[in-house]
Structure 1
Amino acid sequence: MQFVNEYRQKLVSADVAAKAVKSGDWVDYGQFVCQTQVVDEALAKRKDELQDVKIRATTRTTPLAVVQADPHQEVFTYNNFHYSGYDRKLQDQGSAFFIPIFYHEKPGYYKNFLDVDVAILAVTPMDDFGYFNFSTSVATSRAIVEKAKIVILEVNPNLPRVMGGNNETVHISEIDYIVEANWAVPEIPNALPSKEDEQIASLIIPEIRNGSCIQLGIGGMPNAVGSLIAKSDLKDLGVHTEMFVDAFVDMYEAGNLNGSQKQLDKGKIVYTFAMGTNKTYEFLHNNPAAAAYSVDYVNDPMIIRQQDNMVGINNCMEIDLYGQVSSESVGTRQISGTGGQGDFTIGSYESKGGQSYIAMTSSYVDRAGQRHSRIKNFLSQGSIVTIPRSLVSNIVTEYGIVNLKGKSTWERAEGIISLAHPDFRDDLIKQAEQMNIWRRSNKR
């Protein structure tokens, strides 16, 4: 009963909660599908009262009222750790800034470097013991709460309650204001795999062993891998992944997953955040088969490497002939973010029997119908190096798999060019010769 009374005392309208934000404040909106909507709308109405309010979020999936009210960032400056499609559009119109990270370090950024004047986080309803659950966005929520001077919870009964893990809850005694909301949890449909994605997946699946521990990144190709696993004879697989997606539900229901061979968290599906359709949210709700942990555990390469036969599968945008990988930008246009790709590239490779794959289609066709290679002599001008060449192991396109570990520049060039679309290989060889990374005896 004491918690019910405290709940009532802290329950306020969105307009009242928004008044906690002052000029000059840093405000955290949370992550992924668990971000404020009603307090955001209330804060937007205060545009004419405020100055220099800085907002942080991660992968916004629904429109931001503060940006709609202030598209030129005269009052509200919007910053994001990992862009969604919506965030890219905001950046294109000059309404968003990007924050680079190494994902497993992110809770430490809050502890050591970042100011949080007001945190506004979406959570599940309070339980009988006074705890609210961070739902599908556990990754850094606890770190944000612990750093914030003022904590506002936007309580939404539609959010799934997830099992821990660790750091998946906040107690009513730690918060200042409660606002009740009832918006639908944003659904992120699976990206449909292309024919090339399916070809890539068909190359990776035979390399996976029974008892392997799987991490899948976002996109059509990782979903294609998950779909093929669900149709395969692979068994006793485990999951240790930053992002939980619909493909894992398919694999679980097909009987591929039981986690029996994991060295850590045996029997548990471990993740730090989830984005998908209602199939994912319904699966995770109160499900003891899954455990959500903060990202400084899930993505720590020292933790990842302790899972034997760890298999990390991620996408990239382009790769150059040196083996440098760009997974987050096209030129100076930020597309997504580093995310946990670096974490799992390192951790999977260092795992006993582990495998790290960075995959992409070899080319793409633009709106004018012209084909372009994703394999280039140099990364596009301004493109970000997400994974340096020294960390890259397996590169995959629809034309094969090449391991770059320990390879010289000429061996890398030869291997990478073999993965290119045939239309571009001769030009890439000429470029490699000009760069002095092509040996005369190399295959043509």
Structure 2
Amino acid sequence: MSNWVKEYQSKLVSPEKAVSVVKNGDWIQYSFAANTLPVLDPALAKRIPDLHDIVIVNGISTRPHAVYKADPTGVHSIWNSTHLTAIDRMYAKTRKVFYTPLKYSEAPRYVRENSAPDILMIQVAPMDKHGYFNMGPTITHYRAAADMAKTIIVEVNEDMPYAQGGYGNNLHISEITYIVEGGHTGMPQIANEEPEEVDRKIAEFVLRDIRDGDCLQLGIGAMPNALGQMIAQSDLKDLGVHTEMLCDSIVDMVEAGRITGMKKQIDQGRMAYTFAAGSQKLYDFIDNNPQCAGYPVDYTNDRVIACRNDNVVSINNAIEIDLTGQVCSESKGTHMISGAGGQLDFVDIAYNSKGGRSFMCIASTYTDSNGKVHSRINPVLTLGAVVTDTRSTIQYVATEYGMVNLKGQSTWQRAERLISIAHPDFRDELIREAKKLDLLR
């Protein structure tokens, strides 16, 4: 029996024993994206009624949490989210959900300097023969959290894919406080949003500007998924990937032969990412695949590093944009919908990459719950809306009615160009409001 196996056995405990270390006031770095805690979560939930002021730090919820059901009004715990999903928005109906504004590339530094956890609970793949636990599809800021946490509890998932690095994607047995065996708990399956006709029209405009050898960053959502499908069916070649998130459409492009990564200047032949979330197809693709390189987010989203690649193309979604080019991708007014993530990071990276281009893709309208149609291009942002990307950072904006470049344009040029790609039903109103704001000549 190796020393690592002996140490493993000495640290192996029940879920109840592992969560017994939690005390009042502890900050717990909890689940993130595909790395959930289906065994530790219900164990901690049983303890919640006896605890107070527990701070649970979570991001991109992909499974419901038992700790929420144990404390639906937030009497015993505080829910801090670094990126909201529909699950977090559901929690907010009965309790306060606090969002942590961030620039995703800086998240590891936040953990090290501003918000060190007392406890890290993390789901991992089974230990290898060298004593290492792989973090699977979620690297993000976990290495920083492990460096700072007083207690590290790992939940072993037999179904977790082994994700190659990069770096910062493993924890050694010597760092671990407790090990809990979860068995075969599967991976959260995230269905792709099926693109609608408007998504495909927007994607067509962007696709015209993608060239052989470009290095892609795709955001999440129906439009980037539509673009990924179109790229897979195109004759583009030698594309690369340097992104924060890997999604199913990346697999489609690889299988179609569009992605080789051989034109990249760093991580040549490999796809650099910091987390992955999607269907089982994606997790199977990642598993022990040397084409995939998982890194901490302060590598993937760092401008100096990412800009070493030429021709970085960033494609992201937005909720609304004003006539000067300010973009909101996080909220409807004061109501938080999502989070900033790394959108601003890659808007900046793409423009500063040699030959790079940044695309902000937005449907021209949306329909509210009462059936009323609203423009997403507005004279000013909705009162209380968060500015995710400042107007000086935005390059291309695309709707189903066209695509315009805002870089180097004055406010009147920006207003004219954005009105030209707004829904026709709203253009006259936008012109009138733009004149009131003194934005037109």
TM-score range, shorter chain: over 0.9
Alignment of 1:78-93 (within 5 A): 78-93=79-94
Q: Cα distance, 1:438 vs. partner?
A: 1.0
In the alignment, what sits opposite 2:102? 101
Q: Cα distance, 1:416 vs. partner?
A: 0.6
In the alignment, what sits opposite 2:171? 170
**AA aligned opposite 1:143:** A
Alignment of 1:254-403 (within 5 A): 254-403=256-405
Q: Cα distance, 1:332 vs. partner?
A: 1.2
User: Contact 2:219 / 2:245 at 8 angstroms: preserved in 1?
Assistant: yes
Q: Cα distance, 1:274 vs. partner?
A: 0.2
Q: Cα distance, 1:368 vs. partner?
A: 2.8
Of residues 212-221 and 69-78 in structure 1, the stretch that sits farther from structure 2 once superposed is: 69-78
User: Contact 1:116 / 1:148 at 8 angstroms: preserved in 2?
Assistant: yes
SS of equivalent to 2:267: coil
SS of equivalent to 2:257: coil
SS of equivalent to 1:342: helix
1:431 maps onto 2:439 in alignment: no
Q: Cα distance, 1:367 vs. partner?
A: 3.1
Counterparts of 1:392 and 1:178, CA distance in 2? 46
Q: Cα distance, 1:401 vs. partner?
A: 0.9
User: Contact 2:412 / 2:439 at 8 angstroms: preserved in 1?
Assistant: yes
Deviations 1:349-392 (A, max 9, x none): 01111000010100012233221100111111111000010111
The count of aligned residue pairs is: 439
Counterparts of 2:275 and 2:172, CA distance in 1? 20
Counterparts of 1:390 and 1:91, CA distance in 2? 33
In the alignment, what sits opposite 2:214? 212
In the alignment, what sits opposite 1:248? 250
Q: Cα distance, 1:93 vs. partner?
A: 2.7
**AA aligned opposite 1:413:** A
Q: Cα distance, 1:2 vs. partner?
A: 1.0
Q: Cα distance, 1:48 vs. partner?
A: 2.9
Counterparts of 2:33 and 2:335, CA distance in 1? 21
Alignment of 1:113-124 (within 5 A): 113-124=114-125
**AA aligned opposite 1:330:** K
SS of equivalent to 2:92: helix
Deviations 1:282-335 (A, max 9, x none): 000000011111100000011222111110000000001111000011111111
With the length of structure 2 as denominator, give the TM-score of the two structures. 0.98
SS of equivalent to 2:293: strand
Deviations 1:89-110 (A, max 9, x none): 1123324211111000000011
Q: Cα distance, 1:73 vs. partner?
A: 0.9
Counterparts of 1:138 and 1:115, CA distance in 2? 17
In the alignment, what sits opposite 2:139? 138
User: Contact 1:303 / 1:347 at 8 angstroms: preserved in 2?
Assistant: no
Counterparts of 1:307 and 1:334, CA distance in 2? 33
In the alignment, what sits opposite 2:47? 46
**AA aligned opposite 1:167:** G
SS of equivalent to 1:35: coil
Counterparts of 1:47 and 1:274, CA distance in 2? 30
Deviations 1:266-286 (A, max 9, x none): 000111100000010000000
Counterparts of 1:425 and 1:92, CA distance in 2? 36
Deviations 1:106-165 (A, max 9, x none): 000111111211110000000000000010101111111111000000110111110001
In the alignment, what sits opposite 2:7? 6
Counterparts of 1:416 and 1:304, CA distance in 2? 29
Counterparts of 2:439 and 2:196, CA distance in 1? 33
In the alignment, what sits opposite 1:180? 181
Aligned-pair identity in percent equals 48
Counterparts of 1:100 and 1:70, CA distance in 2? 24
User: Contact 2:135 / 2:170 at 8 angstroms: preserved in 1?
Assistant: yes
SS of equivalent to 1:109: helix
Counterparts of 1:220 and 1:203, CA distance in 2? 15
User: Contact 1:284 / 1:290 at 8 angstroms: preserved in 2?
Assistant: yes
The gaps in structure 1 that reach 5 residues or longer are 440-444
SS of equivalent to 1:34: coil
Counterparts of 1:336 and 1:21, CA distance in 2? 29
User: Contact 1:67 / 1:95 at 8 angstroms: preserved in 2?
Assistant: no
**AA aligned opposite 1:89:** M
Q: Cα distance, 1:4 vs. partner?
A: 1.0
In the alignment, what sits opposite 2:126? 125
Q: Cα distance, 1:339 vs. partner?
A: 0.4
Q: Cα distance, 1:63 vs. partner?
A: 1.1
Counterparts of 2:425 and 2:365, CA distance in 1? 10
Deviations 1:204-227 (A, max 9, x none): 111011000000000000001100
User: Contact 2:116 / 2:145 at 8 angstroms: preserved in 1?
Assistant: no
The gaps in structure 2 that reach 5 residues or longer are none
Counterparts of 2:374 and 2:261, CA distance in 1? 41
User: Contact 2:49 / 2:70 at 8 angstroms: preserved in 1?
Assistant: no
User: Contact 2:57 / 2:80 at 8 angstroms: preserved in 1?
Assistant: yes
Q: Cα distance, 1:36 vs. partner?
A: 1.7
SS of equivalent to 1:348: helix
With the length of structure 1 as denominator, give the TM-score of the two structures. 0.98
RMSD between aligned alpha carbons? Answer: 0.9
Alignment equivalent of 1:231, drawn from 233, 236, 240? 233
SS of equivalent to 1:207: coil
**AA aligned opposite 2:267:** D
Of residues 108-117 and 364-373 in structure 1, the stretch that sits farther from structure 2 once superposed is: 364-373
Q: Moved runs in structure 1, 4+ residues, more than 4 A? A: none
Counterparts of 1:410 and 1:48, CA distance in 2? 58
User: Contact 2:19 / 2:43 at 8 angstroms: preserved in 1?
Assistant: yes
**AA aligned opposite 1:411:** Q
